[in-house]
């Protein structure tokens, strides 16, 4: 097979969505770096990508909470990438609101992972993208970040913070060829949502990854996935507070 | 003992999340509510087995068994479909090491273009390797290639106590043989090392010929003993002089590949209404299928998938039989008993007016290596029986005929076998139970099927 023209770095490579996206990328001939904390598991995923698709794939240790490691991590990624390095930000934590309320430590960890950690690793990777003359950054935001709901408003807040961070990041690096897409994801049937009661318009990871791969080729800014969430969230955002506050969402 | 868990979910052991689900067999006969974990990481399998209160548990793969082999009403299930990574492949020996959720479709997508096929593909590519080992599945090449168990180098099995053992013909052979065809009752298979089959192309040359009746059928199979692949479709509604009428397909690998067919599948969007399923419409369908083949037979070159998995092109075809679902009955009869036994089985189905779409007839050569492997030399017949109040009585009759002719019923398809029938048909059952007691002394692995069959 010809040498890959791009390498996708999947941050949170062990996540359900990250794994499904990596399959898409590898099927299209891209090299893949799967990054996360559980390296033994990630090695298995990397072996699978190599075997199924014949592309280079390796596992990398990455902890969003270990801020000091991010620069070194970015350098290692740059050294391993073949062709253009692109990023999928696919890690995140989502403890329930009740856990966050009961345990301030849990809440802090989530904010540090989803916001501080995300901002830190993207910042560390920015010079790599600029030096190579650009790149694509896709992040998994959430519809939860569009209007705070009783059930998960702290999680939603982390995704809203991420969205604003990404806007500025896009503006800052755009003239160096960096293109940023924040996918406002609806519920996906993953390990994260497995314990939750049935959610509306639940997407399968494969369908979601196919959609994300398509969007990653075409779009920047923000996009809902599955697309049905664009009108649904428009409607939900338009509900007046006094009505919204009486709904149990 | 049942799990005590709230309706939605709780996190039990370190990483295992449970939720209540209702699982069904492929025959959609009913649903079995249970608590389910769906590991995506290897270590979560042991965690699920060790989970507090996880007393009574069974693995569930692709859900392609027709009856209750993968169901555990009121207990717990470990869904293994998402443990689906391929881990290693040796191009010299053809040995693929993979997680249990890898499907035949996955293997074919990755390896058929490189000239490898799974050794014994069952009639659906959506079966997982774990499920395929647990039923020791066979393909249209059974007479030559045997069952999946003949092609295994080793298995990793995680036991009820959370420890994992590598089993092989030389490493705890007894446990290896109990696990092959062991319908999930020895533990959870977490890795499979399987020898793939070298093939010259992705295509097959398929010959079809009409068969007028049962005697001719059995003779035709014997004549076709050198064919690499063979399978017969029977019109189970044809009676009298045409009893056993059907279409025999034999196939060889083509030397040249063909274009890969478009991926699009049609899907049954809803349960078929009952009126579509009367004996008249099915009779017409079956007769048309028979007549479609020219009197002198024909020959076609096609992608292997089309020959191996004809039903996979229609997604959710199991809804064709309506909301009540259907039983599938499959038995194998020793060659000497087959002419009489098959006739009696087909007559019983005909008399009951049970409207089965095409039934399948196949010749088997090698017995399986598992203690509860289904395969034995002889002829195997499989047919669908739509669920109706009278279908239990019919299934009982079919079991009787099978027993009277020294035959055996296939657990992958079964929803009705009696404990007495089980004991009679599976002579190594006592060995199996002894090994099971050693591997799982507390009897935590259990399913609707194992309880129905009196295996605990
Ligand atoms: C259209 C169709 C055609 C078929 N044709 C054939 C055929 O030609 N030949 C044939 O032999 N079979 C055939 N079958 C049956 C099918 O191959 C078997 O039922 C097979 O076991 C299904 O695999 P699964 O992954 O869906 O397993 P499931 O149905 O989910 O489970 C089957 C059994 O395997 C166990 N199991 C699943 N995963 C594991 C694991 N990881 N560890 C331990 N135990 C596990 C379960 O507990 C259960 O007992 C056919 C089925 C269909 C629907
Ligand atoms: N599923 C949905 O419905 C949904 C909806 C909207 C948005 N999203 C977002 O999509 C992303 C992927 O989620 P998923 O549903 O696929 O969930 P998942 O399978 O539970 O994955 C979450 C991943 O986050 C990783 N992670 C957590 N903390 C980390 C840290 N400190 N450092 C590195 N990695 C860390 C975990 O890695 P380890 O392997 O190391 O544990 C895990 O792989 C998340 O950002 C989520 O917020 C999901």
For A160-171, write each residue's pLDDT tens digit: 999 999 999 999
The mean of the pLDDT values for chain B is 92
Identify which of B17, B18, B41 has the shortest CB distance to residue A38: B41
For the segment A212-234, what is each residue's pLDDT rounded down to a tens digit? 999 999 999 999 999 999 999 99
Greatest Cα pair distance, chain B, in angstroms, is: 65
What span, in angstroms and rounded, lies between the C-alpha atoms of B139 and B147?
7
**What distance in angstroms lies between residue B366's CA and the mean position of ligand 2's atoms?**
48
Of B40, B42, B87, the CB nearest to A47: B87
CATH of domain B203-258+266-424: 3.40.462.10
Q: Could you tell me if B122 and B137 are in contact, meaning their C-beta atoms sit under 8 angstroms apart? A: yes
pLDDT digits (tens, 9 = 90+) for B310-362: 888 777 788 878 888 999 999 999 999 999 999 999 999 988 887 677 799 99
Question: Residue B127 and residue A112: Cα distance in Å, rounded?
Answer: 42
Atom of ligand 2 nearest to the CA of A19: 16
Question: Does B109 lie at the interface with A, CB-CB under 8 angstroms?
Answer: yes
Specify the 3-state DSSP secondary structure of B409.
strand
Q: Residues of A198-230 as b/e, b for ≥16 C-beta within 10 angstroms?
A: eeeeebebeebbbbbbebbeeebebbbbbeebb
Ligand 2 pocket test, candidate residues A15, A46, A93, most atoms within 8 A of CB: A15
CB B186 within 8 Å of CB B175? yes
**What CATH number does the domain located at B86-199 have?**
3.30.465.10
pLDDT value for B52: 64
pLDDT at B264: 54
Fold of B3-79: 3.30.43
- The segment(s) of chain B belonging to CATH 3.40.462.10 are 203-258+266-424
Q: Which of B162, B148, B154, B252 is nearest to B196 (CA)?
A: B148
Residues B9 and A194 sit within 8 Å (Cβ to Cβ):
yes
As a residue count, chain B comes to 456
A156 lines ligand 2 (CB under 6 A): no
Beta-carbon count within 10 A of A66 CB: 14
Put simply, the chain A residues between 136 and 155 with a CB less than 8 A from any chain B CB are none
Q: What is the mean pLDDT of residues A73-82?
A: 98
pLDDT of residue B276: 64
How many whole angstroms separate alpha carbon A154 and alpha carbon B315?
Answer: 41
Distance from residue B139's CA to the centre of ligand 1 (Å) = 12
Rg for chain B, CA atoms, rounded: 21
CA distance A4 to B28: 46
Cα of A190 to nearest chain B Cα, Å:
9
> Whole-number mean pLDDT of chain A?
96
Q: Does B95 lie at the interface with A, CB-CB under 8 angstroms?
A: no
Instruction: Supply the Cα-derived Rg of chain A in whole angstroms.
Output: 18
pLDDT value of position B40: 97
- ipTM of this predicted structure: 0.96
Flag if B8 and A197 touch (Cβ within 8 Å): yes
**Those residues with Cβ within 8 angstroms of residue B365's Cβ, 6 or more apart along the chain or in another chain:** B142, B143, B144, B146, B377
B41 and chain A in contact, CB less than 8 A: yes
Q: How far apart are alpha carbons A25 and A29 in whole angstroms?
A: 7
Instruction: State the pairing for strand pair B152-158/B203-211.
Output: unpaired
- Residue ranges and CATH numbers for the domains of chain A are 6-244 (3.40.50.720)
* Whether the predicted pLDDT of B415 surpasses 90: yes
pLDDT tier at B30, thresholds 50, 70, 90: confident
Q: Where in chain B is the domain with CATH 3.30.465.10?
A: 86-199
Give B27's contacts (C-beta < 8 A, 6+ positions apart): B66, B67, B318, B321, B325, B326, B327, B328, B387, B415
- Burial profile B399-431: b = 16 or more Cβ within 10 angstroms, e = fewer: bebbbebbbbbbbbbbbbbbeebbeebbebbee
User: Beta A84-89 vs A57-61: how paired, if at all?
Assistant: unpaired
In the prediction, which pLDDT does B263 show? Answer: 61
- Distance (Å, rounded) from C-alpha B72 to C-alpha B48? 15
Whose CA is closest to atom 50 on ligand 1?
B123
For B416-425, the CB contacts below 8 A with 24+ separation are B416/B67, B416/B327, B416/B329, B416/B392, B417/B452, B417/B453, B419/B452, B419/B453, B419/B454, B422/B453, B422/B454, B422/B455, B423/B454
Helix, strand, or coil (residue B280): helix
Q: Which residue has the higher pLDDT, A198 or A80?
A: A80
| Per-residue model confidence (pLDDT) at position B269 | 66
- Could you tell me which residues are beta bridge partners of residue A140? A183
E strands present in B212-345: 229-234, 246-253, 266-267, 298-303, 314-315, 326-333
Give the residue-averaged pLDDT of B208-223: 94
H or E stretch including B87? strand B86-90
Give the list of residues 6+ apart from residue A145 with CB closer than 8 angstroms, or none. A156, A157, A158, A159, A160, A161, A162, A163, A184
Residue matched to tokens 């274009």: B259
What's the CA gap between A58 and A42, in Å, rounded? 8
Mean pLDDT of B211-240: 93
């Amino acid at each position: 097979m010809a040498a890959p023209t791009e390498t996708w770095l999947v941050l949170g490579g062990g996540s359900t969505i990250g794994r499904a996206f990596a399959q898409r990328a590898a099927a299209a001939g891209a090299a893949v770096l799967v990054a996360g904390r559980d390296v033994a598991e990630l090695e298995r995923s990397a072996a699978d990508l190599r075997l199924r698709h014949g592309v280079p794939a390796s596992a990398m240790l990455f902890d969003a909470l270990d801020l000091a490691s991010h620069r070194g991590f970015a350098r290692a990624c740059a050294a391993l990438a073949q062709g253009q390095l692109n990023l999928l930000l696919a890690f995140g934590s989502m403890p329930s609101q009740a856990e966050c309320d009961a345990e301030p430590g849990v809440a802090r960890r989530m904010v540090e992972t989803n916001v501080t950690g995300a901002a830190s690793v993207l910042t560390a990777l920015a010079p790599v993208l600029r030096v190579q003359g650009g790149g694509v950054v896709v992040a998994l935001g959430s519809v939860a970040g569009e209007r705070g709901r009783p059930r998960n408003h702290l999680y939603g807040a982390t995704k809203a913070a991420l969205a604003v961070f990404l806007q500025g990041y896009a503006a800052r690096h755009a003239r160096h060829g960096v293109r940023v897409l924040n996918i406002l994801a609806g519920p996906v049937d993953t390990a994260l949502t497995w314990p939750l009661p049935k959610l509306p318009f639940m997407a399968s990871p494969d369908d979601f990854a196919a959609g994300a791969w398509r969007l990653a080729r075409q779009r920047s800014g923000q996009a809902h996935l599955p697309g049905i969430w664009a009108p649904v969230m428009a409607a939900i955002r338009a509900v007046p507070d006094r009505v919204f506050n009486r709904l149990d969402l | 003992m049942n799990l005590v868990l709230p309706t939605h979910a709780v996190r039990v052991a370190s990483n295992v999340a449970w939720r209540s689900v209702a699982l069904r067999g492929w025959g959609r006969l009913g649903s079995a509510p249970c608590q389910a974990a769906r590991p995506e990481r290897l270590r979560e399998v042991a965690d699920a087995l060790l989970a507090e209160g996880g007393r009574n548990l069974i693995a569930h793969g692709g859900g392609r068994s027709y009856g209750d082999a993968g169901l555990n009403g009121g207990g717990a299930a470990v869904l293994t479909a998402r443990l689906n990574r391929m881990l290693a492949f040796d191009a010299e020996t053809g040995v693929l090491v993979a997680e249990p959720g890898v499907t035949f479709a996955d293997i074919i997508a990755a390896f058929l273009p490189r000239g490898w096929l799974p050794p014994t593909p069952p009639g659906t590519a959506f079966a997982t390797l774990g499920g395929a080992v647990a039923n020791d599945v066979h393909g249209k090449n059974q007479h030559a290639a045997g069952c999946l168990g003949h092609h295994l180098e080793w298995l990793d099995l995680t036991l009820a106590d959370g420890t994992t053992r590598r089993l092989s013909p030389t490493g705890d052979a007894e446990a290896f043989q109990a696990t092959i065809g062991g319908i999930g009752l020895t533990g959870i298979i977490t890795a499979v090392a399987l020898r793939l089959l070298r093939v010259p192309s992705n295509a097959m040359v398929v010959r079809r010929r009409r068969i007028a009746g049962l005697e001719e059928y059995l003779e035709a199979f014997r004549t076709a003993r050198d064919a690499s692949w063979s399978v017969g479709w029977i019109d189970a509604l044809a009676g009298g002089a045409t009893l056993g009428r059907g279409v025999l397909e034999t196939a060889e690998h083509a030397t040249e590949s063909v274009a890969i067919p478009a991926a699009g599948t049609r899907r049954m969007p809803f349960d078929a209404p009952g009126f579509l399923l009367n004996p008249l419409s099915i009779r017409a369908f079956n007769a048309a299928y028979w007549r479609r083949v020219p009197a002198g037979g024909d020959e076609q070159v096609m992608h292997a998938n089309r020959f191996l998995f004809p039903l996979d092109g229609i997604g959710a075809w199991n809804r064709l039989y309506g909301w009540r679902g259907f039983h599938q009955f499959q038995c194998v009869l020793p060659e000497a008993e087959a002419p009489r036994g098959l006739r009696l089985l087909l007559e019983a189905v005909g008399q009951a007016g049970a409207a089965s779409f095409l039934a399948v007839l196949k010749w088997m050569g090698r017995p399986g290596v598992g203690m509860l492997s289904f395969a034995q030399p002889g002829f195997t017949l499989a047919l669908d029986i739509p669920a109706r109040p009278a279908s239990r009585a019919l299934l009982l009759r079919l079991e009787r005929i099978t027993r009277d002719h020294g035959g055996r019923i296939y657990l992958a398809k079964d929803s009705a076998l009696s404990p007495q029938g089980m004991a009679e048909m599976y002579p190594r059952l006592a060995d199996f139970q002894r090994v099971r007691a050693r591997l799982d002394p507390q009897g935590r692995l259990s399913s609707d099927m194992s309880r129905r069959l009196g295996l605990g």
